[in-house]
A and B are shown apart, each in its own frame.
Chain A
Amino acid sequence: MGLVIDEFYKSIPKHGQVVCGDNVEIIKNDQETIVVLSDGLGSGVKANILSTLTSKIAVGLIDKKLPLIEIVETIIATLPICQVREIAYSTLAVLKLTNKGFAHIIEIDTPSIFLLRDNKVEKIPMEERKVLDKTVHEAKIKIDQRDKIFMVSDGVIHAGIGALLDFGLGWEGFARHINSVAERYHDLKSIIEKLIDICMAYYLMEPGDDFTVLGLSFRKKRELTMLSGPPQDPKKDEKVIFELLEGPGKKVVSGGTTAHIVARELKQKVESTFDYYDKDVPPIMKVNGMDLVTEGLLTLNKTADYLDKHKLGQLYPEGKDGASQLIRMLLASDYIKMIVGRAVNESHQSLNLPLELGIRTQVMNRIAKSLKKLNKDVEIFWY
C-alpha cells in the first residue's frame, strides 16, 4: 500500500479584519503535492488580493510544468506595486513534495520551513540566489516518511508583538512550540490546531497580523466503501450488501430504507437515535458492523453542498451531525467506492420535493465530482 501526503492549514485574519491577507493554494496529483503560501503586504482586502494573485499565478504556472525558478521570476516581475508604499509586495513559499519524499522548496521573504524529524525541529539548509533584485532561497532535500513539514507566514514569527512579547515569538520560539506540541499530539490536524491556539494566546486573542500555519506529513492510503439507495431490482439486495461487505476500508450506509436492507441481510437491528446537532440533518442510526449509518437525501445534499466549497488542505468540519461525520470520513479517504441503488422512493415523489433534492443519482454524482476534484480516487457502481 503506497504512501500519500496529508496537508492541512489554518489561516487567521488580523484582529478586526474579515478576510485574511495570507493565501494558500494546493494542487495535487497521483505523484506529488504542491503547496503555495503567500502573504500580501499589509492586511485586509488589499493584502488578500495581492497574496491570492501571487499564489494563483504560481499554481497556474506550476500546472503548466514550468521550472519553479522561472515561475518565481515571472511572479517577481509581474506583481502589482503598492501605491502607498511603492513596493510590489507579497511573500512566496513554494513546496513541491513527491509521494516518494523528494522536496523542492523556494522561499522569498518568508519564514524558513520547519522540518520536524525524530521529534525535533530542524532548519533546512538553503542556497541563496538573486532573482531580479530579490533574494530567493532554494533547497532540494529528501524527506523521510516519518518527518513532518510546517510552513508559516510571518504573523506566526511575530506572534506576541503588541501583546505578550516585545520582539515576537521568533523562528526558534515557534520551533520550540512545534517540538512540545508534537510530543503530545501525533495527528497533523491536532498539531496545527494547537499551534494556532498558541499563536492566538501570544497575541492575547487579538492577532496583530494575519497568520497561517500549514503542515504536511505522510500516511498510508485510506479506503472507504459507501452504499446509498436500494437497488432497482429488489432481487439484487443480497448482491449489493455483498459488494458493500467485500468493499475496501470503512463502511458507510446512507439512507433509512438502505439501512433497513443492510440490517435485514446482516440479521442485525437498526438502532435509531434522537440526537440531532444540526436541524437540517436528521439523526444518524446504528447498525452493527457499519462505521457510519446516516439518513439519505438531506444528509447527502448537505454533504454535496459542503464538498463543493471545500479547498484542499482546509481542516474538516467539526460537527457531530451525520453530514459532518460523513464529510470527515470522505475527506479522510483516498479511494472511495460508491455503490448506488437507483430504486425510486415513491414516498419522496408524493412529497413534491424540489427536483434536484429528490434525485439520488444526481446528488451522488455531485459528491463524486467534488471528491475527484480533491484528488480522490472515486468509483461508482450503479444498481
Chain B
Amino acid sequence: MNKVKVEICIGTPCYLMGARELIDEMQKLKKIYEDKIELKSLHCIEERCEKAPIVKVNGQIYEEVTYDKLQKVVKDKLSKL
C-alpha cells in the first residue's frame, strides 16, 4: 500500500462531535502530502456512534478522534510508507 486511507464518518453524531473540523484539517494535510493520502467519507461504522467522531485509518477504527490524535496517526502511517 502506497497511500494512507483515511475514512471519516459523517453521520449526524460524528458530524456534531467534530467530523467537519476533521474533514477541513485533513483536506489541508492532503494538500501537503498530495497523492499519499486518500480521503473518503462514510457512514456509521459498526454502530459506535456513542464514541463519535469515528475515523478509519487503513482499515483500523479510531474512536473519539481529535485532530491532534488523527494527525499523529496519519503522520505515523505516512512515515512507514
List A residues at the B interface (Cβ < 8 Å): 256-257, 259-260, 270, 272-274, 276, 279, 282-283, 285, 295-298, 345-348, 350-351, 353
- Asked if B49 is an interface residue, CB under 8 A from chain A, the answer is yes
> In chain B, residues 48-64, which have Cβ atoms closer than 8 Å to a Cβ of chain A?
49-50, 52
CB neighbors of A among B29-49 (8 A)? 39-44, 47, 49
Band of interface residues on B: 20 to 34
Interface centre among B27, B47, B50, B52 (most CB of A within 10 A): B50
A346-B49, A350-B49 given as contacts; is B43 within 8 A of A259 (CB)? yes
Q: A274-B23, A295-B10 are in contact. Are A351 and B44 (CB under 8 A)?
A: no
Contact residue among A257, A282, A297, A347 (Cβ-Cβ distance under 8 Å from B10)? A282
Shortest CB–CB separation between residue A270 and chain B, in angstroms?
6
- Chain A residues with Cβ under 8 A from B20's Cβ? 276, 279, 282
Interface residues of B (CB under 8 A from A): 10-13, 15-17, 19-20, 23, 27, 39-44, 47, 49-50, 52
Q: How far is the CB of A250 from chain B (nearest CB, A)?
A: 22
**Are B16 and A256 in touch, CB under 8 angstroms?**
no
Residue of A nearest to B16 (CB): A351
A347 to B41, CA, bound (A): 19
Q: In whole Å, how far is A357's beta carbon from the nearest beta carbon of chain B?
A: 9
Chosen A-B contacts, 15 in total, with CB atoms closer than 8 Å, are: A256-B10, A259-B43, A260-B43, A260-B44, A272-B41, A274-B27, A279-B20, A282-B15, A285-B43, A295-B11, A295-B12, A296-B12, A345-B49, A351-B50, A353-B16
B49:A347 contact, CB within 8 angstroms: yes
Q: Which 5 A-B pairs have the closest CB atoms?
A: A347-B49, A272-B41, A350-B50, A256-B11, A282-B15
Which chain B positions have C-beta within 8 A of A256? 10-12, 43-44
Q: Closest CB-CB distance, B70 to chain A, in whole Å?
A: 15
Query: Are A351 and B43 within 8 A (Cβ)?
Result: no
Contact B44 A298 (CB under 8 A): no
A274–B41 touching, CB < 8 Å:
yes
- Which chain B residue has the least Cβ–Cβ distance from A270? B43
A347 and B50 contact, CB distance less than 8 A? yes
Beta-carbon contact of A282 and B49 below 8 Å: no
User: Chain B residue with minimal CB distance to A353?
Assistant: B16
